[in-house]
Structure 1
Amino acid sequence: MKNIKIKYLLSIVSMALLVLGVFSSCSDDSSDSGSGTLTITSVAKAEEGDLVPVTQGDPKNYYIIRGSGFTTVEKIYFNDFDTYFNPVLVTDTEIFVLIDEKTPYADASNKLKVVTKLGTIVYDFVISPPSPTFGSFNPINATEGDVITIYGNYFLDPIVKVGTETVPVISSTLTEIKVKLPAGSDKKYISVTNISGTATSAYAVGTAIYDDVAYYGFTFPAWNNHTYESAGSEQGLIHIKKKMEAWGNIQGDWSWYDQIADYSGIRVAIRADNPGALKFCFNGNWDDKTSPLLTIGTTWTTFVIPWSALGNADHVQNITFQNMSKNAAGDGVENTFYIDNIGFVLK
């Protein structure tokens, strides 16, 4: 028997059982030495339906290698990574194998190698990286001709788009990409694609109020006694740190910005040393009944505050945060807060 055709597979378990059964039925048809000809004709993913030959494979998935001369197989390598296989799931013409999740995919040989007592055969086969992850990009408020840095992971041979326009990659590693923004980038999202999938930025170009630096005059004056930290930012490279006494605050400078017709509200990322609460004081409104109260945890959380929660604001004049953390008795307590990625949310 030279081929295995699998239809209507219900699960990978049933696939393995089926392969075991078919291979057992073939055992009387072939000798220990096999056909004598070592060749790989195709590789197919083990999934429901007909086996369709593929040229790339995903780690943690099962594949069937087809060819001949496999009876005496000793080693299987994907990108020179020694891959475990079960000898029970090998016949002269098929090998059922799982691509290990540790298989390298970057700067690799892109080869499948099967070693048998008859010899070794090498076959062109690409190991796909995971789909890219998009962490952040900086600066958000870059303009035409500015170079931005995209942070994330699995950026193998990346294709970058700003909106629908593909832009040349200046440089890239697996975790960083540099590109130059084209004309018309404002309020466009950025996407990164590799052979496995696409990831898109959570925020659009030009939507920052604070992104490593403050825009439109909405700074936090030095008399707040806050600091800037460069490790572990939610967006970009720098975030704000402020130790606030009970009912203390960090007050923003006063300014005026009313070009907000394209936006539905404001976003901000916050975490704290201890679980607590911050009041989002907008445009000088310190009224407890109307100012949004944000419940803060110890990991970054991005809050989206719609204009409707801010009195249907038609402009931004001031942003201030007040510590509302309390102990079990209801008394105000000191807490340290980290604030990042203040910006607008597109409609």
Structure 2
Amino acid sequence: MKNYILNKKYWASITIIVMMFVSMLFNACDNNDSSDGGPITISKVFLEDVNSSVPDREVSFARLGQLIRVEGTGFTGLKKVYINGFETYFNVVFVSDTSMLISISKNTPTIDADPAVRNTIRFVNDSNEAVFAFNIRSAAPKIISISNTMPKAGEVITVSGTGLTEVKKVVFPGNIEVTSGITSDVKGEFFTVTMPAGVSAEGGSLLVESANGGVYSPAYFNFKKGVILDFDGLGSHGYWGSGTSMIQPADLLSTAAGTGNVSQGKYVPHRPARIASFAAATNRCSETWTAGNGVDNWRAQLTPYIPASTPLDQVALQFDIYVPTAWTNTGFLKICLINNFNGGEWTGATYNYVPWITSEGKVVPFQTTGWQTVTIPLNKFYSYSKASFIFDDVLKFREAATYQNFGFFFENSDVKLTNVTGQASEAVFASSATSVSVSTDNWRIVSLKTPTYSDFPN
């Protein structure tokens, strides 16, 4: 005979169901009689969540789709319940005179509810009604991207995601709070905020508080400890020989560029001024490297902040990019974890960044008005995309390499759509000569670890 051990959460859920059923069994019939019902009072609301350590928790708010238990008096004869003005179904089997269960419909309006009834629950019988103030939130907010994760103080950034409605506070690394000058999209798809002074150079997550609750960003904001090359003293620029493709110090630019988020000191133009255009069907048109052997030491620099045991999908390369004119139909950046590639590869420890092709396979010209951040998880690099790896696998690979330089090529060969999207396709984008201007700066390795935000931190 098998032994079954029931965990605490299971027992908690069974206990709640049994107690509710017993307490309601003696009263359910009253809800089906012709009684007009007496006065209604509401005292408390509880969130019912069998997956929580507190499965029956008194709360002051709940989210769409959640089950709540309402305590009060006079529920006998209850006919209607309106949440934010939305008539909400309830099962009379789970109604007693002093308690009831009701699920908040996902169709309930939240920020678009009539202000007169927003954040209220209205209970109605034939002769009486009661309105109880109670906060109704949409699904928990989510941050998908940040337009620039290493801006200057005073610059405006855009945080994109879902559920980011009525953002009232943003806490930057270093516990720097911003509560003014925040502009929220009415649909909750983004908000803008100004970068304050004093943000920690060790970086971390943004904490965002909105009408739908709080949410953290990944821990990649202002992570200057992770910079491997910024052309201004963090990291070392490597270069050698006199070939046309090699980006030399004289090729770097320092003139102010961009609107909104502007350039920060020196940066690299991947088509330097001495090259008028790149020919079609050519690879390694330009190349920019870190110094490599004896200088680059990712393990010593990064593992105090990003443990070597971190899953590779939680570690990313970030860089800032500026493309003032439309980039489309030809050309891409090849990112190389080591210096051991000739160009044209779609395999190995490389990743080809083709921003003018969307994940759906559509061509959309790529252009920026200012500098914006690109984030590429390291498990997107081809050598690491087919199985699970940890950060230590990348560190060991680089440490074993003959040439440990990290770098970028600008390439201008034909692009097979299947190589970009991973989906079967015969489509090929034939290359053409291009004089597109693409610049990058602030190459860095960052953590994608995202702290968990709890509505009930206790």
User: Distance between the aligned counterparts of 1:259 and 1:68, measured in 2?
Assistant: 70
User: Distance between the aligned counterparts of 2:120 and 2:135, measured in 1?
Assistant: 7
SS of structure 1 residue aligned to 2:79 = strand
Aligned partner of 2:133 among 113, 124, 127 = 124
Change (3 A) 1:8 1:298: closer
Structure 1 partner of 2:123 = 114
Aligned length: 314
Structure 1 partner of 2:409 = 320
Structure 1 partner of 2:44 = 42
User: Distance between the aligned counterparts of 1:200 and 1:59, measured in 2?
Assistant: 22
Query: Which of the pair is proportionally richer in strand?
Result: 1
Note if contact 1:147-1:181 (Cα within 8 Å) is conserved in structure 2. Answer: no
User: Distance between the aligned counterparts of 1:149 and 1:117, measured in 2?
Assistant: 50
User: Distance between the aligned counterparts of 1:340 and 1:29, measured in 2?
Assistant: 73
User: Distance between the aligned counterparts of 1:200 and 1:87, measured in 2?
Assistant: 42
Counterpart amino acid of residue 345 in structure 1: I
SS of structure 1 residue aligned to 2:106 = coil
SS of structure 2 residue aligned to 1:73 = coil
Query: Which of the pair is proportionally richer in helix?
Result: 2
For residue 345 of structure 1, report the CA deviation from its aligned partner. Answer: 0.8
User: Distance between the aligned counterparts of 2:281 and 2:316, measured in 1?
Assistant: 25
User: Distance between the aligned counterparts of 2:208 and 2:108, measured in 1?
Assistant: 21
SS of structure 1 residue aligned to 2:25 = helix
User: Distance between the aligned counterparts of 1:219 and 1:135, measured in 2?
Assistant: 28
Q: Greater RCO between the two (CA within 8 Å, min separation 6)?
A: 2
Structure 2 partner of 1:176 = 191
SS of structure 1 residue aligned to 2:100 = strand
Note if contact 1:217-1:253 (Cα within 8 Å) is conserved in structure 2. Answer: no
Map 1:79-228 onto structure 2 (within 5 A): 79-106=84-111, 109-155=118-164, 156-169=166-179, 170-173=181-184, 174=188, 175-194=190-209, 196-205=213-222, 216-221=266-271
Change (3 A) 1:92 1:224: farther
Note if contact 1:221-1:252 (Cα within 8 Å) is conserved in structure 2. Answer: no
Change (3 A) 1:162 1:260: farther
Counterpart amino acid of residue 20 in structure 2: V
Change (3 A) 1:315 1:248: closer
For residue 136 of structure 1, report the CA deviation from its aligned partner. Answer: 2.3
Report the TM-score when normalising by structure 2. 0.53
Q: Where does structure 2 lack aligned partners over 5 or more consecutive residues?
A: 1-7, 231-257, 304-314, 320-327, 361-374, 382-393, 420-427, 432-437, 448-458
User: Distance between the aligned counterparts of 1:106 and 1:312, measured in 2?
Assistant: 58
Aligned residues: percent identity?
19
Counterpart amino acid of residue 286 in structure 1: F
User: Distance between the aligned counterparts of 2:13 and 2:430, measured in 1?
Assistant: 51
**More divergent stretch after superposition (35-44 vs 24-33):** 24-33
Structure 2 partner of 1:23 = 24
User: Distance between the aligned counterparts of 2:283 and 2:262, measured in 1?
Assistant: 23
Structure 2 partner of 1:280 = 335
Structure 1 partner of 2:350 = 293
Aligned partner of 1:53 among 29, 43, 58 = 58
Structure 2 partner of 1:64 = 69
Note if contact 1:147-1:179 (Cα within 8 Å) is conserved in structure 2. Answer: yes
**More divergent stretch after superposition (34-43 vs 67-76):** 34-43
Report the TM-score when normalising by structure 1. 0.67
Counterpart amino acid of residue 75 in structure 1: K
Q: CA RMSD in A?
A: 4.9
For residue 250 of structure 1, report the CA deviation from its aligned partner. Answer: 6.1
Residues 169-204 of structure 1: CA distance to partner in whole angstroms, max 9, x if unpaired? 312313213133222443412413336442223523
For residue 39 of structure 1, report the CA deviation from its aligned partner. Answer: 0.9
User: Distance between the aligned counterparts of 1:115 and 1:324, measured in 2?
Assistant: 68
Q: Where does structure 1 lack aligned partners over 5 or more consecutive residues?
A: 1-6, 227-243
